[in-house]
Structure 1
């Protein structure tokens, strides 16, 4: 995306709510704050595999897209460009298109595809797609037929052939994709205040990947590390992993996959997220030290250069499609996945299980098995157990809020070992000290 001043009004007002079709509830209470509600996962999916025994990529051709041009063609591609666009920090979409994470897309969506995905969460051929993939500009000079050199911080990343330029209906895009057109939602702010007046669509050819301080393996690279004919469980996060998170995906790996040789791909997003999130490079360091501390052979670690939209249900679908392209067959989905709160009232934009419900509804179509995130609690008597066991056995649960954890970090207080890994705490303390200096 290209950073621009606000373009096009987006309606203010009371935040609308996304409502997905309800899925069965296995436990009793309906309160969002209840720790014992367990959502049912989707029915088992009879998964299709490639000839190599891996998950099929998304799309009717089941083919992983690779848009990187051979080095021998780079000079001619750049010479054909008549205009240049400098991308913003949300340049992730160019990289994800190039490496095939958005397969089967071969470029940014034109108006017809954009309109279809916004309105129906499907491309014009009927293929499920969670959110539109668009490039924006304020330039009046760009027209269909132009060849654009896409650059980022002086690095030539891709060449784009423009086949569509249009003025998007931003309020409708936000209402359909994020469930609200209120500026209280961070993605609505992004669409209204960062994106330009126009969207442009067309195919791209990759020249290089962005230079990063942390590596981001491509779908093909990740697939090359996965065992054949085994389940691959994806764990998505955008924050440091603490012991409850680790327990969550290890237990899911033991309980929710069919094969004893299954692995879990820990696949955090390291692109731009919310303003108050920990910077991507710091998150990356916490994952790297945790990988060394745990040394679990059943885990695979990779990092996703994805810019979070906090779109709740729609983003859950987008994440499933991406992880499908990376070779995953199972996807852990927690309460209020990719959810966010009003910047004014603090009210949640989505209900606790909206994302799970929508993911379950489309799991079979995506050839992905959803795995409901377990509610894990730490107890004095038995350590980590599921919340229903803690309640049934009247165990004493220990709690530490994120706010209290950050306060303890800043104060230099000892962090309970049941809550966080020592290696992760050390990285976070170092970050806090550097900020203070």
Structure 2
């Protein structure tokens, strides 16, 4: 094992500095707590309401979500997009597009927004979001704007060509306006595939070992399988 330590003049190889007993215990504690890192932003968000009827009271409008939108809503509600507590406002969207950070300087790579072509939705509108018979969530709109989609794509994906799947989604699937605001979760639809929450995944992580997470855009290929199992 090669250990590097700093001196006043240079690095030295092959020497391990003595560590006191108390320091060793402190380092061991740090290693143990680091095994399960804190959620991004410090708190694992859970937006689901205990009173579903109260959450839906006073709704002004109901919109049916697309497949993609329903996944975004579910990830917001179960903490998959922690520390977000709703769809990004124009201010947060601009910050992420320009700097890949939220307005509080926390790293966040892609904007999380709700899109619409409905001109009747205004700031202050309380929207019930449904998906295939499930009342998923309620959003109170606090921001509505027309995004600069070419700029968003160049900043997020490094290209504006329609051949890129992310660019194609922004240009051809999303509506012409974005809306942002706090979200209150109501229910989760039954999916054709298992979908555990971040809290459920974290509860399954074994103690005392390193865990490597791997995600690919496409279905798992043989090479991926070999990487997992070897």
When normalised by structure 1's length, the TM-score is: 0.44
SS at match of 2:170: helix
Q: What does residue range 66-215 of structure 1 map to in structure 2 within 5 Å?
A: 66-70=46-50, 73-90=51-68, 91-215=70-194
When normalised by structure 2's length, the TM-score is: 0.81
RMSD of aligned residue pairs (Cα, Å):
2.0
Which residue of 2 is the match for residue 353 of structure 1? Answer: none
SS at match of 1:232: coil
Q: Does 1:54 align with 2:32?
A: no
Q: Cα distance 1:57–1:150, how it changes in 2: closer, same or farther (>3 A)? A: same
Distance 1:170 1:100 in 2: 26
Task: Give unpaired runs (5+ residues) of structure 1.
Answer: 1-47, 252-437
Q: Are the equivalent residues in 2 in contact too, given 1:168–1:198 (CA < 8 A)?
A: yes
Deviation of residue 182 (structure 1)? 2.2
Q: Cα distance 1:56–1:120, how it changes in 2: closer, same or farther (>3 A)? A: same
Q: Cα distance 1:49–1:173, how it changes in 2: closer, same or farther (>3 A)? A: farther
SS at match of 1:163: strand
Deviation of residue 52 (structure 1)? 9.3
> What count of residue pairs does the alignment treat as equivalent?
201
| Structure 1 ranges of 4+ moved more than 3 A | 48-53, 238-243
Q: Are the equivalent residues in 1 in contact too, given 2:126–2:139 (CA < 8 A)?
A: yes
Deviation of residue 240 (structure 1)? 3.8
Q: What does residue range 11-30 of structure 1 map to in structure 2 within 5 Å?
A: none
Q: What does residue range 286-435 of structure 1 map to in structure 2 within 5 Å?
A: none
Which residue of 2 is the match for residue 45 of structure 1? Answer: none
Q: Cα distance 1:50–1:152, how it changes in 2: closer, same or farther (>3 A)? A: farther
Q: Are the equivalent residues in 1 in contact too, given 2:64–2:129 (CA < 8 A)?
A: yes
Query: What is the CA deviation profile of residues 338-389 of structure 1, one whole-angstrom value per residue up to 9, with x for unaligned ones?
Result: xxxxxxxxxxxxxxxxxxxxxxxxxxxxxxxxxxxxxxxxxxxxxxxxxxxx
SS at match of 2:225: helix
